[in-house]
Amino acid sequence: MSMATPHIKLADGKHFAKTVLMPGDPLRAKMIAETFLEKAELINNIRDIHGYTGLYRGKEVSVMASGMGIPSIGIYSYELYHFFGVENIIRVGSAGGLSHQVVLRDIVACLGANTNSNFAAQFDLTGTPAPTCSFALLETAVSCAREMGIEMKVGNLFSSDTFYDADENCHKKWAEMGSLAVEMEAAGLYLNAMRCQKNALAICTVSDLPFTGESCSPEERQNTFTDMIKIALETAVRMD
């Protein structure tokens, strides 16, 4: 019997691993599965979102795209956590560097996700939640990066609902609040994980520097950033 939600449909006998790597771009999901996983099978392709399960170092790992923005990752992470038995989601994406501490192609792990999103309003809290990562995932990822000799910076990111913001000083203000980089998904992922007491971590590669105009090409964003992916995969197998 197939398992299905409005956005994910698994055929008979197919399943997600306990840990899912989640890039935004479906083609990056395809690249990760074909490059890094053994015996990778396409298990979901509703809306061409590309979901795979395969083996990395002999252990099951899944990878599926989230699409762009908090509403999109909010849907996919909710369904994975609630209906498909997923315990850990590691976002592997790109981000725009805001801090002078980061340069192009730096890897940053998101400790906490500052945001301008109203996603948390649905929870009807009396205060403001702090979207934060799973310490277990972060500690494991930091350890893996260190053992691999890969520098990975850890700090807060800014999860923005607006790629084209009417406030021209928006990024400068969040940089002044200590945000290392800007992306568009981590806060929604973290809040979903917190609500259902699962684990989430966002690891991003700096693909552009808004203040200087430096950037990687779309092809580079899709097909490279392999150090980030390797850290995430090593983290996944240790969480098994």
Active-site pick, 25, 106, 208, 227: 208
φ, ψ for residue 168, nearest 5 deg: -65, -20
Q: In the block, which residue shows the tokens 């994980």? A: 193
165 is catalytic: no
Which positions are annotated as active-site residues?
208
